[in-house]
Structure 1
Amino acid sequence: MTAIPDEIATLAHAGEQMIERLRKRAFLPDVRKALNLRFGIAEAAQLLGCSTNRIRMAEDDGRLPLPGQTETGRRLGYTIEELQTMRTVLGASPARSETDSPAVIAVQNFKGGVGKSTVTVHLAHYCAIQGYRVLVVDCDSQATTTTLFGFNPHFNISRHETLYPYLSIEPTQTDLNYAVKSTPWPNIDLIPSNLELFDVEYELAATGGDGQSILATRFRKLKQGLADIGRNYDIILLDPPPALGTISLAVMQSANALLVPLAATIPDFCSTVQFLSMMDQVIEQLTSAGFSIDYQFVRLVCSKFTSNDPAHAMVREIMTKTFGSALLPTPILESAEISHAAIRMMSVYELDKAIGSAKTHKRCRANLDEVMSQVEVLIKEMWGRPAVGDLSLALSQA
């Protein structure tokens, strides 16, 4: 009879092989994820905040190249790269000023299954379409975010390409530049993760009497590393593990904003209240230990919301009464389009056409745009008029 540990290893290996087959099938012919998005001139003008005539004039006078065309002369539309060029030429870049710090947003909840990685990836892609320079840091050893960016964490990512060489007890890297990978999006970079990142937790748990000083060093080190590399970005999105561990604590201390997804169920609501209460205690302890915690905003976002479900409506009403303005006004709707995209290791923003019905796709995309634009407003406020009191509001009302 096969020993149970051997059986588990067999199941794990079979799962890893299947993930790789799915990845190859999704990204044929070159087994690498590609971005096939194009934007018509009307949509490009809307994204740039200008008229279509201004774009055409810049093309006519040679400041902008003409977009690609089919054999029949039909415009193919603009790629993300071409939109970035247009923003530079037309002075329409949303990038922060040199005197503004990047928005470092932790997308965190200690409850699994709330759509944490889904929110992270869709927010990254939305911000890229708007023209921001984005860095996504996958701090979760489950590596869902890494997978959604087209990398197989079991086959394509080694321990030395994650945060591990930087945060381990015996670090081999002094900055984070070694870990930055380009993605199919020209203005999104990724620091990936894989299962071996969890070794950081084991190592620090075994440090013995020097544990507290080593932990403190790691907390400060991650924040400093992100500050150094952040000069190249407008927005840094951190996807930490769904548990209170060393890496989660380091992320909490490194971020300057917090986004908390929670599904529209009573168990998720209760666990999120516990998460906020635990955050309150941890922040107090970190502050007492000399760490600076400065969140410019804290917002909760209701995810996986079904609008025609009375139970979901009731829970959302409870959320609104409890969290007030700390809850984003618009929930993320449960949609088959998000699930269909995830099967292809994509976000809804990467789809060049609807997978389900056109109506479902349009509704899903409009909903995501509305939610993500509300986060974008908060980011802009960080660079203009800083929000005050959001953290105390969220924690005290919980």
Structure 2
Amino acid sequence: MDAIVSQIGDLAEAGERMIERLRRKAFLPDSRKGLNIRVGIAEAAQLLCCSTNRIRMAEDDGRLPSAPSSKNGRRLGYTIEELLHMRAVLNASPQRTPLDVPAIIAVQNFKGGVGKSTVTTHLAHYFAIQGYRVLVVDCDSQATTTTLFGFNPHFNITREETLYPYLSIDPTESDLAYAVKSTPWPNVDLIPSNLELFDVEYELAAAGSDGQSVLTARFRKLKEGLNVLANQYDVVLLDPPPALGTISLAVMQAANALLVPLAATTPDFCSTVQFLSMMDQVLQQLASAGIELDYNFVRLICSKFDSNDPSHAMIRSIMEQTFGAALLPVPILDSAEVSHAALRMMTVYELEKPIGTPKTHKRCRANLDEALGQIEQLVRQSWGRVTPAKEDEVLHASI
């Protein structure tokens, strides 16, 4: 038995060393993840809902600096920092008003392999490109989201940098500000995770006869801490563990919106139905204990959808019949570009150039924008707003 345990430990150590090698290879020369994407003026105008002429005029009259050029005079495009500055100058920021409640979205499904962390990171970067201030909270001790943000949870993150000091039985932190880390994205912050966060589950399970009151206090504490922190952001994305444990329940109570990713397979559909049934029972039990949950929206989104697979089309049809309007109409397509980016510990939004063919990349990016844009619309609706019409649409309509 000792030999088996030792073998498992050796396998884990070998895996951690390989992750670090991959990370260092991906982020050469300084082994730190950077953000090197640039946006051309046409895409910038689309993102700012204005014309390219308006941007050029602002550059000509000095309100905006000109986009840097290469040696041959070709525009290099705008960085994300420059885009944020352009939004401020041109009054094109989508950020909420002080009266709008920050969206705190839990991306949850108890079925593993549905792309929960991939959806979370892509959603964070989508919101960032659109100009929102985003906080991502990795609540899963497997720390996939932390890894996708360029941190190695085994080598780079200590237990004191996770939610643990705040949620443990003997907390050493009274608020969550200590855990917030900056990321390569200027408007995206991260609270990371690592394997030691699971100690919270052990501690609360061993809380003894007073366990129920301890659990209730932890549920309320996470919500209170996130509500305070959320005042600095527009959108907070929570990535909980794929299991019904203490942290998952605390996340469910802290969120004000729920997004459930599920793949178009029979096992995923059946598992998601069980997840929803379990959620219903748990929410009733929490309500009876005086812990209320109130969501601005609950939506399911089909992830890893292969439009060329007839079985996927059939299962998606079943989803539509079952869930109706709660299923978002545009699925996230299963694309090699997403997989290739993940191998580099990136999202598609971080790629400087296509990894596969330009056609594949363009199709993948367009699908992600449309699919994740559905969630942006739900957030804006919760603020009582809709996306403003583009300048050219307004001009065309008035002719």
The residue identity in structure 2 corresponding to 1:111 is: K
List per-residue Cα deviations over 1:38-93 (Å, max 9, x = no partner): 01111101100111111111111111111211112211100000000000011000
1:10 is matched with 10
List per-residue Cα deviations over 1:211-231 (Å, max 9, x = no partner): 011111110010000111111
2-side partners of 1:43 and 1:313: how far apart? Answer: 32
Taking structure 1 as the reference length, what is the TM-score of the superposition?
0.96
- Give how far 1:286 is off: 1.1
1:239 is matched with 239
The residue identity in structure 2 corresponding to 1:252 is: M
Do structure 1's residue 249 and structure 2's residue 246 form an aligned pair? Answer: no
List per-residue Cα deviations over 1:184-231 (Å, max 9, x = no partner): 000000000000000000000000111011111110010000111111
2:334 is matched with 334
Do structure 1's residue 35 and structure 2's residue 43 form an aligned pair? Answer: no
2-side partners of 1:359 and 1:52: how far apart? Answer: 25
Question: SS in structure 1 opposite 2:259?
Answer: strand
The residue identity in structure 2 corresponding to 1:76 is: L
1:365 is matched with 365
1:49 is matched with 49
Where do 1:318-397 residues align within 5 Å?
A: 318-384=318-384
2:389 is matched with none
2-side partners of 1:352 and 1:162: how far apart? Answer: 30
Taking structure 2 as the reference length, what is the TM-score of the superposition?
0.96
1-side partners of 2:125 and 2:306: how far apart? Answer: 23
2:281 is matched with 281
1:25 is matched with 25
2:391 is matched with none
Following TM superposition, the consecutive aligned residue runs of length 4 or more in structure 1 with deviations greater than 4 angstroms are none
The residue identity in structure 2 corresponding to 1:242 is: P
1:395 is matched with none
- Give how far 1:385 is off: 6.7
Structure 2: where are the runs of 5+ without partners?
A: 387-399
The residue identity in structure 1 corresponding to 2:35 is: L
Do structure 1's residue 91 and structure 2's residue 91 form an aligned pair? Answer: yes
Question: SS in structure 1 opposite 2:38?
Answer: coil
Where do 1:1-398 residues align within 5 Å?
A: 3-384=3-384
My pick for the range that moved more, 281-290 or 175-184, is: 281-290
List per-residue Cα deviations over 1:117-160 (Å, max 9, x = no partner): 01000000000000000000000000000000000000000000
The residue identity in structure 1 corresponding to 2:173 is: Q
2-side partners of 1:2 and 1:97: how far apart? Answer: 59
The residue identity in structure 1 corresponding to 2:213 is: S
Question: SS in structure 1 opposite 2:231?
Answer: helix
Structure 1: where are the runs of 5+ without partners?
A: 387-398
The residue identity in structure 2 corresponding to 1:151 is: F
The residue identity in structure 2 corresponding to 1:27 is: F
2:395 is matched with none
2-side partners of 1:29 and 1:143: how far apart? Answer: 24
1-side partners of 2:51 and 2:314: how far apart? Answer: 43
- Give how far 1:292 is off: 2.1
1-side partners of 2:67 and 2:156: how far apart? Answer: 34
The residue identity in structure 2 corresponding to 1:99 is: L
The residue identity in structure 1 corresponding to 2:244 is: L
2-side partners of 1:209 and 1:347: how far apart? Answer: 45
1:396 is matched with none
Question: SS in structure 1 opposite 2:299?
Answer: strand
Question: SS in structure 2 opposite 1:11?
Answer: helix
1:391 is matched with none
- Give how far 1:2 is off: 7.1
The residue identity in structure 2 corresponding to 1:74 is: R
Q: Report the count of equivalent residues.
A: 386
The residue identity in structure 2 corresponding to 1:373 is: G
1-side partners of 2:108 and 2:382: how far apart? Answer: 19
My pick for the range that moved more, 310-319 or 64-73, is: 64-73
1-side partners of 2:129 and 2:287: how far apart? Answer: 37
Question: SS in structure 2 opposite 1:154?
Answer: coil
- Give how far 1:361 is off: 0.8
- Give how far 1:312 is off: 0.7
2-side partners of 1:136 and 1:323: how far apart? Answer: 28
Q: Name the Cα RMSD after superposition.
A: 1.1
Question: SS in structure 2 opposite 1:3?
Answer: helix
1-side partners of 2:319 and 2:151: how far apart? Answer: 36
2:396 is matched with none
